[in-house]
Structure 1
């Protein structure tokens, strides 16, 4: 009989089907402005916005420079499996993350074979986590909005 290897325990709390994910990094000395410049690049908002279509489990994400630009936080909420979420980012958005995180200490790159170990080492589990609609995945929410839109169109056509 063959047994499958046990899945590694991953950090982060879960509320229903939604998981929290927060990473903290040390910024290379003097690189805070360079990180801020990445967010101001033409087309950055469009590339970042495209992630929601490329990574269908992404609810939101935010980057925060703090401690006089010496620390960087990346925080997000997502549906499903931690490992698949990281795989999706590595496949769909390595340029976005590498462009930002190259300004942090010891970042190996999203394509590094040990990237998941690096991420786990920088991930901090929340003390508490609340999600207002914990059982609604991104897919569920998009479907509900399409149904709502179709229903509104029917109501508008009936008047």
Structure 2
């Protein structure tokens, strides 16, 4: 079963609705988490308020987008019913009674990522949970979402950045593998000539950024040539400035769901390696 990512854009009615939604969403998250657990194909998910006019919903999952959205409509309909009270031209409610409409609407609001990264692309959520259960391993680590929004100088520069990211796709994957702590990562083009860099990673923010600059700093050095008010480059020589910039550009997540809490990238790699048949020498 292939892994996928979604970034959904919810167009909000007004700045007042954006503020209300930011207050109303957190109490709804336990219901969404239970739905994700029941569905069993979501690795991670989170919301964030991008602007006064847009709410983003992000997720890393197994299988097909349409099937996941149909499952969410059935399992977490009340969550989306509450969200749609603040959304321009929403689909029919209640969502649970209008599954097909919900699937069609979410497909129309899906933003395609420029590139995708997974630290363990060959395993599903269910595989990881089963391996951890069989090995009696429980995660003790700290996982965090990183939701950085980069404002690009112009439409032309925005197109240039997307081209750079596409060309450098496989190189970015290798660089992120070297970091060793990101689980999933995406560069996503957003409204108003912005680029979102979204990851789920292990450990502390400062250490992640320090490791990040050593291995993938060159990508950001390229992007920063087209970014409004960037930090000094190269990143690896201006670590504290990059940490400060990243902290300021990072958006607060709402409802960070984890299918296998506390399991680090290295934990998961070890579980996968231990599950493979060992070769026997003659």
Tell me if TM exceeds 0.5: yes
**What is the deviation of 1:105?**
0.7
Q: TM-score, with normalisation over the residues of structure 1? A: 0.75
**What is the deviation of 1:133?**
0.7
- Equivalent of 1:38 in 4, 7, 24: 24
1:61 equivalenced with 2:48 (yes/no): no
Higher strand proportion: 2
Instruction: Work out the CA distance in 2 between the residues paired with 1:141 and 1:52.
Output: 15
CA-atom RMSD, angstroms?
A: 1.8
Instruction: Work out the CA distance in 2 between the residues paired with 1:23 and 1:123.
Output: 5
- Unaligned runs of at least 5 residues, structure 1: 1-15, 151-159
Q: Deviations over 1:138-158 (max 9, x none)?
A: 1001001101217xxxxxxxx
1:132 equivalenced with 2:153 (yes/no): no
1:123 equivalenced with 2:106 (yes/no): no
Match of 2:31 in 1: 47
Match of 1:21 in 2: 6
Q: Which has the larger radius of gyration?
A: 2
Instruction: Tell me the SS of whatever aligns to 1:126.
Output: coil
Answer 1 or 2: higher relative contact order, Cα 8 Å, separation at least 6.
1
Moved over 3 A (4+): none
Instruction: Work out the CA distance in 2 between the residues paired with 1:143 and 1:17.
Output: 17
Instruction: Work out the CA distance in 2 between the residues paired with 1:45 and 1:117.
Output: 23
Higher helix proportion: 2
**What is the deviation of 1:51?**
2.3
Instruction: Tell me the SS of whatever aligns to 1:107.
Output: coil
Give yes or no for contact 2:41–2:61 (8 Å, CA) kept in 1. Answer: yes
Instruction: Tell me the SS of whatever aligns to 2:135.
Output: helix
Q: TM-score, with normalisation over the residues of structure 2? A: 0.44
